[in-house]
Every structure is written in C-alpha cells, then in structure tokens.
Amino acid sequence: MELNAVTTMETGRFCVDASICVVYLHPHGLAMPAPSFPDHRRTDQMSSTHPVPASIDTITGQKRLELAHFPTPLEAAPRLAAHAGLAELFIKREDMSGYALGGNKLRQIDFILAEALDQGADMVITTAGSQSNFCRSLAGAAAKLGLGCHLHLRAKMGTDHVGNLLLDDIFGAKVTFTEKTDPWDPAIRAELDEIGQSYEAAGRKPYIAQLTGSSATLGIAGWVSGAAELMDDFRKIGRQPDAIVVVCGSGLTAGGLALGLKHLGATTRVVGVSAQQPEARLRQWIVETANAATTELGFATRLAPNDFDILDDKIGPGYGIPSPASIEAVRQAGRLAGLVLDPVYTGKGMAALLAEGDGGMLTGKSVVFLHSGGTPGLFTHAAAFDTDARP
C-alpha cells in the first residue's frame, strides 16, 4: 500500500511513538501543510474501578452497552404535519439520545463498543467523511469509556476546525485524512489496517469499526433494537403510522429499521432518503448487509428489495453539500416545530418528506420522521443560510 494519501492535523505524519512514524504526502507529491490544531489527545485507559453498564438486547440477543439515553421521545408535530399535507406527523427524537450531542449512531455504538471491550480493545479506529456524525459520536463514547480514538477521515468534505471536526478534537480523538472519496473503496480498509498495525506494534489493542465493513452487522443490530422501541411507541399512541422517513448515509439505520419492523410484524413502511448514494446502489447494499446480519443474528426474517423505499432525488449538489430544498426544509422544521435540523442530512430527509406530502407517496398519511441528530452540521454550513430571503 502506498502511504501517500493522508496527512494529520498536526505534523503531516502519523506517529504512534518516537520509533514508529509514517510520513504522509499530498496526493500530488507535495508536503501537505498541517492545520495548527492543539494537541489534546487522551492518554488515559479504561478504569477497572468503573464498570460499564451493559445488557443483552432482548430482540437481537447481542451484548450492548448502556451509554445513551433510551427510549427517546416520540413527539407530535401538528403544525408541520398540516404544512406538509400529512394526516399526522411524529418526530422520533434521536437527537436527544445523550452524550456528544446525541443522534442515531448512539444505538449502533452501544453494540459496537460492547464487542470492542469484549475483545480487550483499549482504543478504536474508524473512518468516514470529515464531518461524520458517526465519528463524532464514537469519539464521544470513547472519551466516556477512557478509550483511545483514531479517526481516519475523507478530506473531500473539508478540514476546517469546525462542526464535528471541532468536536472530534474536543473529545480527544486523533485525526488523519485520506484522499479517497468513495466510502466503499477497499483501499480505505487497507489504510485502517495499516494504522491498526502501527498501534499494535506500539503495544496497543485497537478495534477497527467500519460501518461499510466489519461492524455493519452490529450497526444493523442497533436499529433492529430501535425498531422494537418504536413498536412500544406505536402501542402508546394506539396505532402504527403508515411510514417512517429516515435519511441514509451508510444505510444501516434504514436497513436495521426495515429488518426490525418486518421481524416484529409491523405495517409501518421505511422510506429511506439518500444523502449520498444512487437508489439502486444503496438499496442493494442495504438488502445485502441486512441479510448478512440476519445470518449472524440468527433471524429467520429476510429483507427483500421491495420491503422499503429509497428516494435519491434530494441528494442535491452532492454528499455533504446543502441544497436549496434542504435549506428551506431546515427553516420550515424550525419555524413550524421548533426542530434543529442540518442542511446535509436531516434537512434532505425533511425536504423529501415535504415533497412527498405535497402530492406524493406520503400525502394524507400518518408519518414518523426520524430526527437522526447531526446538529453540528447546521453550524458547519451556516453560510448557506446567509440569504436575503430571511424575514
């Protein structure tokens, strides 16, 4: 593997200790100047005097930690429902799930870090886009547990010290960047393995968590469990809504929800809104990943391609880039329901909900919108809201 794809936040090289350093170069052969970020990386280890709360999930049979605050609220949003042309609208408030500003990734992390600790890991390594909500959440969880954290991020979304990157730093994560742009590129896994081997050579015990790879089953399990919580919510309101709208990055949340709801006999249909991948690719990956998970989880239920919907017409200019529709959706959700969405994930999901409620598949329906968090993205893209259209 050619290690010329990444740089670090500090010196342009990745060093585990004084004897193990790998120099990284700019993809065009130039030394990449490193942003001057303060070095606040953690050196602490897991304390044996503070056991981590854990349990066996009743739906999946998998061990999970209990780091987050569940169940999250299911709230009615009547003014937004009327504006959107829906019979009723409920918001599943995953943004209120706890540490590190919450979000849908916390359910997955409970399962992933349970496995990491069982394997004796003292640090975690993962990869995603530079403004990744999963990486921010994992860094926050690692800080709670006293684990080291190394984030290997795709630089295409920018390397400014704002939003989730700022929080990654605050939580003490070490950050390196890769020139790779496709999260499914197997070369990224090779880079993660290289980083992990360097830590192992220094005496550490890394655990690699990759949502498009080895940790996908645990990510699915997190949201199969989340589906069971939603069924409890539905029993409390006395009915099953027609659909639940969820924005998709990796697709694991939508996949876990669709699998879990089918397994539990629900009639509520998952509508995934892609923020990144074309419909056909995302649908195929969700089905393959969910069904691989069913084998490992011992489920008889299998997910079929027509068990859920995928919309890809709200990606806009591209992944991680606000669109006019997502900006307007953020404004409407704020003004009509007091919600704080972001313009690159949840805003695109809300844009799809508004469009489909206006003469589309959701018109006159009872709908749940899964608020998956991502609040830091609002402030990362604050300039996108600087228009003359403000009242």
- Residues acting as catalytic residues: 132
Burial bucket for residue 61 (CB in 10 Å: 0-12, 13-18, 19+): exposed
From the list 323, 339, 333, 341, the residue with the least C-alpha distance to 384 is 323
For residues 231 and 154, give the distance between their C-alpha atoms in angstroms, rounded to a whole number: 36
Residue 184, classed as helix, strand or coil, is: coil
Task: List beta partners, residue 152.
Answer: 127, 176
At 73, the amino acid letter reads P
Tokens of 139: 């860094």
Q: Is 233 helix (H, G, I), strand (E, B) or coil?
A: helix
- Distance of alpha carbon 22 from the chain centroid: 29
Tokens standing for residue 248: 């998709």
97, 103 contact by CB (below 8 A): yes
Write out the two tokens for 122: 């003292």
Q: Where are the alpha helices (H) located in the chain, listed in sequence order?
A: 78-84, 105-118, 133-145, 163-170, 186-201, 216-237, 252-263, 279-297, 324-337, 346-357, 376-380
Q: Are 154 and 181 in contact (CB under 8 A)?
A: yes
Give the pairing of strands 243-248 and 206-209: unpaired
Q: Which residues, 6+ apart, have CB-to-CB distance to 235 below 8 Å?
A: none
